Amino acid sequence: FTREPTIARGRRARGAQPAVRLARLGLAGENLTNRQSMRCQVSPDETALQQLHDQTGWTPGAEHIRPDAASRAQKELLFSNLDTMWASPGDWVMHQVFSSPTQRRADGRRCVVEAPPPGRFALRPQPFPYLLPVGTQHLVLWSSSPRAATSADAITAAIADALDAEHGGGRSGGGGDFVWYENPKKSVVDARLHHVQVFWRPPPQPP
């Protein structure tokens, strides 16, 4: 993971557009591609993702939800090392993403001294990105709150705030389009944390 500033508790999504319910279902309406901006949750269902991809061209479809063989091998190696060196993958994430201090246990594995305060978000590049449409980038949003305490609206707002701050000059909606979903098969499952997959279309570069 590349260290980036942690995003504070999210507000209502900046630059969000109406008719989000259709996009959350992954079932694009006729006017979906005509909207100026798309920033919302979508369904992880492969059929729904493909329907949405057919409408947008840049969101992931059924063929875009897995990394390539090399990335899969790197991921397997990482998690094998984590099992040896860390109390849990969640402890490693809290240290890498939220800079939580660690200590070594009697068995030699490292663990965090305490979990990060709840309500924090951090947007990071996905280290094992899926094979996505050209121009779409794969990110991960981490939350220091449990899943039950992390609302969909807060997730959307945190992503929007981070992208607008880093890539939109602080302008609402200026950081580009994105969709996100919660992976049904997570590699890191920890009751202290929550994370979602983010698929981002950067804003056009000025001429």
Per residue in 137-175, pLDDT (tens digit) is: 999 999 999 999 999 999 999 999 999 999 988 888 899
Is pLDDT larger for residue 2 or for residue 106?
106
Report the length, in residues, of the chain: 207
* Average pLDDT in the chain: 86
Going by their DSSP bridges, the two strands 39-41 and 177-181 should be labelled as parallel
- Express the helix, strand and coil content of the chain in percent, nearest 5 each: 30, 15, 50
Tell me if 111 sits within 8 A of 91, measured CB to CB: yes
188 contact partners, CB below 8 Å, separation of at least 6: 89, 90, 93, 195
Tell me, what's the pLDDT at 25? 47
How far is residue 35 CA from its own chain's centroid?
22
Tell me, what's the pLDDT at 48? 96
For the segment 48-79, what is each residue's pLDDT rounded down to a tens digit? 999 999 999 999 999 999 999 999 999 999 99
The stretch 78-107 carries a mean pLDDT of: 96
| Confidence category of residue 19, pLDDT binned at 50, 70, 90 | very low
